[in-house]
Amino acid sequence: MTEEMKEKETIPVELDPSELDALVEVLNTVKFLRDFLNDQMVHDISEIVSVVFKLINTVASTDLIDVLERGLQDPNLDKALLNPPKVSTWGLIKAMKDEDVQKGVGIMIELLKAIGRASTD
């Protein structure tokens, strides 16, 4: 290539100082990631991602996600989040008369039992 061809191929770019600073930060981040990600780090990250995908697959194959989704979309939950009620110990005991509370507590107890069993394996 001649000097004339090189000159024609270059495009002058004007950068504000803030844009130049942002570009330098992006390049520093890329350099950090390049230096940081060695074979061992990639292996460790892949193991973590594998466990997360396994957990997602397990949770997705149960009704837990559907139950949680329906529960989180309940309009009464939105109201309670905006203005949380104060509940005393006696209020908790009275709430146990509600069938929905009984079911929810039952699910939580079974979940806690399953976690306890899994922790001893």
For residue 22, what are the CA distances in angstroms to 4, 13, 15, 62, 67? 32, 15, 10, 46, 45
Domain map of the chain by residue range?
A: 17-61, 63-121
Confidence of residue 8 (pLDDT cuts 50, 70, 90): low
Q: Is the pLDDT of residue 121 over 70?
A: no
- Complete DSSP assignment for 25-43: HHHHHHHHHHHH--HHHHH
Cα 25–chain centre separation: 26
Digit-coded pLDDT (tens) for 35-94: 877 888 888 889 999 999 998 888 888 888 888 889 989 999 989 889 988 999 999 999
Q: Is the pLDDT of residue 3 over 70?
A: no
Digit-coded pLDDT (tens) for 82-119: 998 899 999 999 999 999 999 999 999 998 999 999 89
